[in-house]
Chains A and B, each alone.
Chain A
Amino acid sequence: QSVLTQPPSMSGAPGQRVTISCTGSSSNIGAGYDVHWYQQLPGTAPKLLMYDNSNRPSGVPDRFSGSKSGTSASLAITGLQAEDEADYYCQSYDSSLTVKIFGGGTMLTVL
Chain B
Amino acid sequence: EVQLLESGGGLVQPGGSLRLSCAASRFTLSRQAMSWARKAPGKGLEWVSSVSGSGGNTYYADSVKGRFTISRDDSKNTVYLQMNSLRAEDTAIYYCAKDLSPSGRDGMDVWGQGTTVTVSS
Contacts of B111 in A (CB 8 A): 45-48
Of residues 4 through 47 on chain B, the ones whose CB sits less than 8 Å from some CB of chain A are 35, 37, 39, 44-47
Contacts of B114 in A (CB 8 A): 45
Query: Number of A interface residues, CB 8 Å?
Result: 26
Query: Number of B interface residues, CB 8 Å?
Result: 25
Complex alpha-carbon distance, A84 and B35, angstroms? 26
User: Are A51 and B100 interface neighbours, CB within 8 A?
Assistant: yes
Of residues 82 through 96 on chain A, the ones whose CB sits less than 8 Å from some CB of chain B are 87, 89, 91, 93
Name the residue on B nearest A93 (C-beta).
B105
User: Are B107 and A36 interface neighbours, CB within 8 A?
Assistant: yes
Nearest chain B CB to A65 CB, angstrom units: 16
User: Are A89 and B95 interface neighbours, CB within 8 A?
Assistant: no
A residues touching B (Cβ–Cβ < 8 Å)? 2, 33-34, 36, 38, 40, 45-48, 51-52, 57, 87, 89, 91, 93, 97-105
B residues touching A (Cβ–Cβ < 8 Å)? 35, 37, 39, 44-47, 50, 59-62, 95, 97, 100, 105-114
List, sorted by A's number, 15 A–B pairs whose CB atoms are closer than 8 Å.
A2-B44, A40-B45, A45-B112, A46-B45, A46-B108, A48-B108, A51-B100, A52-B100, A87-B44, A93-B106, A99-B47, A99-B59, A99-B60, A100-B47, A104-B44
